[in-house]
Amino acid sequence: MDKFLINGPCKVKGQVVISGSKNASLAILAATLLFDKPVEIKNLPAVRDIDTMLKLLKSLGLKIAINKNNKSVLISRSKNINNLASYSLVKTMRAGILVLGALVAKNGKAITSLPGGCLIGARPVNFHLNSLKKLGMKYFIKKGYIYAKIKNNLVGSEIKFPKISVGATENTIIASCLAKGRTILKNCAIEPEIKDLTNFLKKAGARIKWVGKRTVVIDGVKSLNSISYSVMGDRIECGTFCVAAALSEGNLKIKGFDPRLINTELNLLKQLGAKIKKTNNEILIKGSKIIKNVKHLVTKEYPNFPTDLQAQLMVLLCKAEGRSIITENIFENRFMHVAELRRLGAKILIKNNKAIIEGNTKFEGAELMSSDLRASVALVLAAIVAKGRSIINRIYHLDRGYEQLENKLKKIGVNIKRIS
């Protein structure tokens, strides 16, 4: 298993280009199951989760022509359509559940593996199933698989999500595109990746209209048109590099992402002392010597502070002057990085879903273990500013969602090496 060797402390300096969004790509790729005609998706990040999703789509009967250099794929329907999304593929990437809505809407049936839990939580899919049921999907669960089918068509309905869920919103929007009649979805998640999905579908002729902050109306159509679409930049990768600059008294120009989509994060980093300038797809960020603490930060759904940046921000707060508190409100077990940060010298107390972080930590290099994708990148950030050598094990977690991470970090001055 690969590991990273990092010698710190380093200050990040220079320019970094943000790759395509993993999470927007996963939803958009799942939605290609709705199409009769070929569809081209561009700016896909070269990360393992995308490979897994492409393998899943291939196993479902789609033809995938990959064009490596411009990171695009041309997807077209083959003759032998299959409706089984197998556990072997879905178990490594919970977003596999996103094919359920498309399969049922397009093929009228599906056998999809339940995603199963992961390190950050149980990852239930009850909201997905309940909303698809309201559109007419019948299903039962047996031996870890969802056996789903419909009579003739899905039929539009009015649905209010009991809790805001990114995946359930995406699955239901995708399914509603081909349903008969009107679907009104309330209490939707409104992450930028979901807007990227609806922009993609609208460009292909789906009739989707966001009418309220969290309400979307979808009028089903017979079929979608052949289009080419370029996926947005990765919001969490961008946020991660912003934290890297704020953390290491760095000076970064970050390109390829619309800064308006991370206003909350950028305002918080400014509050903590970073100097930030924005243009329409560039962020200039300079870290300050003194990092201020934050009394109490709570992770919430967009447009609030995202759970996917919680671990990265915790590293920054370890270096802040004074104590900070973070409450993790989205997932039930998303503090795996804390035990590892303690090995670097962090002083963090966990009380249920609250982390109390003592500041002024002087990180000392150590050997560390990755866990989930975002916790792992937090360890990389801490190792960058730690004194001495750190080794980070099991970095396959990072390869799931960060494209060329070590090369991007090397280019901005980090002393990092991948050991296979």
Which listed range, 126-134, 217-225, 320-328, 358-366, lies at the site for ligand EPZ (CB under 6 A)?
A: 126-134
125 binds ligand EPZ per the rule CB under 6 A: yes
Q: Is 260 exposed, middle or buried (0-12, 13-18, 19+ CB in 10 A)?
A: exposed
- Phi then psi for 142, rounded to 5 degrees? -145, 135
d(CA 238, CA 241): 5
Q: Rounded distance, CA 339 to CA 18, Å? A: 29
Should residue 21 be labelled a site residue for ligand EPZ when binding is judged by CB under 6 A? no
Binding to ligand EPZ by CB under 6 A, coded x per residue (else -) over 282-311, reads -------------------------xx---
Binding-site string for ligand EPZ from residue 369 to residue 388, where x marks contact by CB under 6 A and - marks none: ----xx--------------
Q: Report the C-alpha gap between 287 and 105 in whole angstroms.
A: 49
Can you tell me the distance from the alpha carbon of 385 to that of 114, in angstroms, rounded to the nearest whole number? 40
Q: Least CB distance from residue 66 to ligand EPZ, whole Å?
A: 20
Collapsing DSSP to helix, strand or coil, 192 comes out as helix
Binding of residue 244 to ligand EPZ (CB under 6 A): no
Residue 258: its H or E element = none
Q: Is 128 in the site for ligand EPZ (CB under 6 A)?
A: yes
Which residue, 81 or 122, has its beta carbon nearer to ligand EPZ?
A: 122
Distance CA 403, CA 44 (A): 10
| Cα–Cα dist 329/307, whole Å | 8
Interaction between residue 161 and ligand EPZ (CB under 6 A): no
Q: Which is nearer to ligand EPZ, 306 or 365 (CB)?
A: 306
* CA separation for the pair 269, 264 (Å, rounded): 9
Of residues 43-102, those binding ligand EPZ (CB under 6 A): 95
Shorter beta-carbon distance to ligand EPZ: residue 377 or 386: 377
Residue closest to ligand EPZ, measured at CB: 167
166-176 and 22-31 helices, crossing angle to 10°: 30
Q: Is 185 exposed, middle or buried (0-12, 13-18, 19+ CB in 10 A)?
A: buried
- Residue with tokens 């329907």, as numbered in its chain: 77
Compute the least distance from the CB of residue 112 to ligand EPZ, in Å: 13
Among 99, 177, 189, 262, binds ligand EPZ (CB under 6 A): 189
Q: Least distance in Å: CB of 331 to ligand EPZ?
A: 5
Q: In 187-259, which ranges are E strands? A: 207-212, 215-219, 228-230, 251-255
Contact stretch for ligand EPZ (CB under 6 A) within 138-146, 165-173, 222-230, 284-292: 165-173
118 is catalytic: yes
CB of 279 to ligand EPZ, least distance (A): 26
How many residues form the binding site for ligand EPZ (CB under 6 A)?
Answer: 23
Q: Decide if residue 123 touches ligand EPZ (CB under 6 A).
A: yes
Q: How far is CA 415 from the centre of its chain?
A: 27
Among residue numbers 190 through 229, which ones bind ligand EPZ (CB under 6 A)?
none
Binding mask 337-376 for ligand EPZ (x = CB under 6 A): ------------------------------------xx--
Residues 6+ apart with CB under 8 A from 307: 299, 328, 329, 330, 331, 334
First to last CA, the chain: 6
29 binds ligand EPZ (CB under 6 A): no
Q: Is 8 or 167 the residue whose CB approaches ligand EPZ more closely?
A: 167
Binds ligand EPZ by CB under 6 A, chosen from 3, 12, 21, 23? 23
**Greatest alpha-carbon span in the chain:** 64
Answer yes or no whether residue 172 interacts with ligand EPZ by CB under 6 A: no
Q: Which residues bind ligand EPZ (CB under 6 A)?
A: 23, 26, 95, 121, 123-128, 163, 165-168, 189, 307-308, 330-331, 373-374, 401
Residues marked as catalytic: 118
